Structures are given as structure tokens and as C-alpha cells.
Amino acid sequence: MENILDIYAEPYNPAYPVICFDEKPYQLTEHVTESLPPEPGPDGMITIINATVYAIFYAHSNRQPESGLSE
């Protein structure tokens, strides 16, 4: 982790750009059974199925002067 922080602390170099990358997966599910109102006692059981999984990928370089972002 310290190596990554050292890279971010270096001054901007157009020959060696620093790009930030992140991924966030989303699992979309569907209910198989109709939900019932809660009753006193132990938790009820709800059956769900996996519909599909999506991932959002995000990459940016906020250290480039033309990006319009201040440091």
C-alpha cells in the first residue's frame, strides 16, 4: 500500500500518467415468492434467484492539468 501512496505523491509526469481504476459489482436478484408482512417470532424466509451480475468500471486521471480538477 505504501508503494501506491508514494506514486500518488509524485509530481505530474506526462510520460508516466497515473490512472485510478475502480470496479463495483452489482448482483441483480428477483423474488421467487411473494413477500408476506412480518409476523412475531423468528425471521421469515424469502427465496430469491440470481438474475444477473453487472460490474461498473471507472477509470480516471485527476492529475492531468487539462482535466480541470484542482489538486
Query: How many separate domains does the chain show?
Result: 1
- Beta carbons of 51 and 28 less than 8 angstroms apart: yes
- What would the pLDDT profile of 6-60 be if each residue is shown by its tens digit? 888 888 888 888 888 888 888 777 666 666 666 666 666 666 666 677 888 887 7
Residue 63 pLDDT level (bands cut at 50, 70, 90): low
SS3 category, 35: coil
pTM over 0.95: no
**CB-side neighbour CA atoms (13 Å) of 58:** 6
If you count them, how many residues does the chain have? 71
C-alpha cell at 58: 471507472
Residue 70 lies in a domain: no
Give the Cα separation of 61 and 14 in Å (integer).
11
Tell me the C-alpha distance between 51 and 67, whole Å: 38
